[in-house]
């Protein structure tokens, strides 16, 4: 190759490199401009709260749904742990029952879990989750229930299969699959009179599944427009860099098979009794609190995880049973 040809090749490669860098920078700036539409707060302070150190490549993120329609301030009525299992390419969702009695370290007393947000905000909620369940959650995504209505309407509605009692509650007639708008979806996710609060958790999971399903066949342009419209309804302490890293790493995940779990695993059958504390009921006492925590860990970290309940969890269990008179 002549010197002149080499110079031309260098020039062409330089131009291509500049174009690649320019495109990447442009995409990166656009992604940042989208992500900056979310509400942002300071990172969670985990200095004084126990964290479980697993050797598994799993990141846990709390998904909190806040309901201010309670008459006495906002509570975290939806509490889910989104577990990103990078070893196995899976997403797992654990739903935590809101009325379980737990120790709340920022208040130094026992009370139902969803009161942690009411008393101490996100810090109180994550502190309580980590303390009682031996977890390591410092990242969160938060939405309020009113935003569910807005998000579903942005998507053009969602398809959800309803039982006869659920359809009747919504005034839709018989059992079947219905295309629900935002107001109907919000009402559906709040149903608690036709069965139990555990079924209510299941309905919230079905809403999440419906939201994911509604996005599967969208074009990239359509998805960008949806993201642009939805993000202002979300609050998080995840940085733009962390979110972009997760999105890149999740490309190899099986998003069609999201595993779900509820704590406690057997619903009302897991309960020993319920109490009224500080004038609020029900507040559930579990038959086997430490065993439930161990089952939660096996779901998140794998059946072969060798976790056993810590002394802290055993003390929480003992104190709760003592409160209940056992």
User: pLDDT tens-digit profile of 280-304?
Assistant: 888 999 999 999 999 999 999 988 8
The pLDDT of residue 278 is above 80: yes
Same domain, 319 and 202: yes
Same domain, 158 and 261: yes
pLDDT of residue 135: 92
Same domain, 71 and 190: yes
Please state the separation of Cα 59 from the chain's center in Å: 12
Tens-place pLDDT, residues 139-174 = 898 888 778 888 888 889 999 998 899 999 899 888
Same domain, 299 and 173: yes
Please state the separation of Cα 261 from the chain's center in Å: 12
The pLDDT of residue 210 is above 50: yes
Same domain, 13 and 129: no
Q: Which of 130-134, 202-206, 210-214 has the highest mean pLDDT?
A: 130-134
Same domain, 137 and 231: yes
Same domain, 115 and 253: yes
Mean pLDDT (whole number) for 183-199: 82
Q: What is the CATH number of the domain that holds 190?
A: 3.40.630.190
pLDDT of residue 267: 84
Q: State the Cα–Cα distance between residues 168 and 178, nearest whole angstrom.
A: 12
The pLDDT of residue 98 is above 60: yes
189 — pLDDT class (breaks 50, 70, 90): confident
Mean pLDDT (whole number) for 75-93: 89
Same domain, 113 and 250: yes
DSSP SS3 for 87 = coil
Same domain, 248 and 163: yes
Q: State the Cα–Cα distance between residues 208 and 188, nearest whole angstrom.
A: 12
| The model scores a pTM over 0.75 | yes
Same domain, 159 and 57: yes
Number of domains in the chain: 2
When the pLDDT of each residue in the chain is averaged and rounded to a whole number, the result is: 81
**Pairing mode, if any, of strands 235-236 and 139-144?**
antiparallel
Same domain, 15 and 102: no
Please report, rounded to a whole number, the percentage of residues in the chain having pLDDT higher than 90: 30
pLDDT of residue 1: 62
Identify the bridge partners of residue 101 per DSSP, sorted by sequence position. Answer: 112
Q: Which residue has the higher pLDDT, 89 or 41?
A: 89
92 — pLDDT class (breaks 50, 70, 90): very high
pLDDT of residue 234: 83
Question: Residue 211 in contact with residue 189, Cβ under 8 Å?
Answer: no
Same domain, 58 and 139: yes
Q: Which domain holds residue 22?
A: 3-35
User: Which residues, 6+ apart, have CB-to-CB distance to 286 below 8 Å?
Assistant: 100, 264, 270, 271, 272, 292, 320
CB contact burial 32-62 (16+ within 10 A = b; e otherwise) = eebbeebeeeeebeeeebbebebeeebbbbb
Q: State the Cα–Cα distance between residues 311 and 102, nearest whole angstrom.
A: 15
């Amino acid at each position: 190759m002549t010197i002149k040809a080499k110079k031309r090749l260098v020039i062409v490669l330089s131009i291509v490199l500049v174009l690649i860098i320019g495109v990447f920078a442009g995409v990166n700036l656009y992604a940042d401009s989208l992500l900056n539409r979310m509400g942002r707060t300071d990172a969670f302070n985990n200095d004084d709260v126990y964290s479980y150190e697993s050797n598994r490549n799993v990141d846990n993120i709390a998904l909190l749904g806040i309901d201010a329609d309670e008459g006495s301030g906002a509570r975290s009525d939806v509490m889910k742990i989104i577990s990103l299992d990078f070893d196995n390419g899976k997403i797992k969702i654990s739903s935590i029952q809101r009325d379980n009695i737990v120790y709340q370290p920022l208040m130094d007393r026992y009370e139902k879990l969803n009161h942690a947000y009411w008393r101490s905000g996100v810090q109180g909620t994550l502190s309580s989750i980590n303390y009682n369940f031996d977890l390591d959650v410092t990242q969160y995504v938060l939405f309020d229930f009113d935003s569910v209505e807005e998000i579903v309407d942005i998507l053009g509605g969602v398809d959800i299969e309803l039982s006869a009692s659920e359809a009747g509650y919504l005034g839709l007639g018989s059992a079947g699959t219905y295309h629900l708008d935002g107001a109907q979806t919000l009402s559906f996710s709040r149903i608690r009179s036709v069965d139990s609060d555990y079924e209510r958790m299941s309905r919230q999971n079905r809403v999440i599944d419906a939201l994911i399903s509604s996005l599967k066949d969208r074009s990239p342009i359509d998805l960008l427009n949806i993201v642009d419209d939805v993000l202002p309804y979300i609050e998080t302490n995840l940085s733009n860099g962390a979110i972009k890293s997760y999105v890149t790493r999740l490309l190899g995940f099986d998003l069609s098979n999201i595993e779900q779990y509820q704590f406690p695993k057997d619903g009302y059958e897991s309960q020993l009794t319920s109490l009224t504390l500080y004038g609020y009921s029900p507040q559930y006492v579990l038959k086997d609190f430490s065993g439930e925590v161990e089952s939660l860990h096996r779901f998140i970290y794998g059946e072969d995880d060798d976790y056993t309940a810590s002394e802290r969890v055993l003390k929480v269990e003992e104190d709760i049973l003592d409160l209940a008179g056992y």
